[in-house]
Amino acid sequence: MSNIILQHFNGDLRPLDKASIANIKEYAKRIGADYELITGRPFRKHLTDPCQKVYMIDEKWDEYDDVLMLDIDMFATKNCPNVFEAIGCGLYNPIQQRLHERLVQNFKGSAISPYWGGAIYKFSKFRRQTLRHGLGGNEDWMEHFNQPYHYEDEGIIHHLSQSADLMFTKDDIMDPRWCYDNYLPNPAGAFMIHVRTKIAPQGPKREKYENYMGLVEQGIL
């Protein structure tokens, strides 16, 4: 099987971005996957930067069996297993459940169609091709999600899933250790860590790079 890991960023790379790219590149090499950093706005130029992650379903990647899209603040731990051998397509923790419910209530989303958090998506070729059927023609509906911190890529992928009549099953949901927030207990047990500004669930915040360096100093990354 041939797999690839993608990340996207638009603008000047910051220290944390560079650290994530280096980390994920090395991880991809370790598990025998290709890697590519997508830049600019290749999906739809008028959409926000997070929306550009939907480019992962483009036919450009059809030579690959599975495509993994990761946020630019995601890191593989030293003991991270092969993500392409893991069950699931994305993250569905309590925060995603709440966003999913609001999407159903406010934007005619579907309670039975998949909704995933945007930090990690892992789609098979079949799923990517199926989602693409909803693109083209009148795409004005995308404007509902074209605002910072307002669903963005998550909303678009949900809408495409709904249009394709994809059903949400337990096998769609990845183990939460594949996208584990740095401030949660026992980060050493995670597979991949999503570096946030928080240092505790209800505690103070600091620069993401400081939290990243803390994980490095602990030997987790």
CA distance 208 to 198: 8
202 pLDDT higher than 90 = no
For 21-55, give the DSSP string: HHHHHHHHHHHT-EEEEEES--S-TTS-TGGGGGG
Q: Which residue has the tokens 């860590």?
A: 193
Instruction: Tell me how far apart the alpha carbons of residues 177 and 175 are, in angstroms, rounded to a whole number.
Output: 5
What pLDDT is stored for residue 172 in this prediction? 94
Residue 155's pLDDT is 94
Helices H / strands E in the chain, number of each: 5, 8
Find, among 121, 58, 114, the residue nearest to 86 by Cα: 121
pLDDT computed for residue 107 by the predictor:
85
Contact 183, 215 (CB under 8 A): no
Q: Give the whole-angstrom CA distance, residue 64 versus residue 48.
A: 26
- For the cut 90, the answer to whether the pLDDT of residue 152 exceeds it is yes
Is the pLDDT score of 65 beyond 90? Answer: yes
- Contact between 114 and 172 (Cβ < 8 Å): yes
Angle between helix axes 94-107 and 153-163 (nearest 10 degrees) is 70
CA–CA distance from 66 to each of 9, 11, 203 (Å)?
A: 21, 27, 37
Both tokens of 94, joined, read: 């309590």
Q: Are 17 and 72 in contact (CB under 8 A)?
A: yes
Q: Given a cut of 90, is residue 108 above it in pLDDT?
A: no
CB 100 within 8 A of CB 167: no
Q: Report the share of the chain in percent with pLDDT over 90.
A: 89
Q: What is the pLDDT of residue 7?
A: 98
The stretch 179-186 carries a mean pLDDT of 95
* Domains within the chain, CATH numbers bracketed: 3-217 (3.90.550.10)
What pLDDT, in 10s, does the model give residues 11-44? Answer: 999 999 999 999 999 999 999 999 999 999 999 9
Whole-number Å distance between alpha carbons of 43 and 49: 9
Three-state SS at 202 = coil
Over 90: is that where the pLDDT of 106 sits?
Answer: no
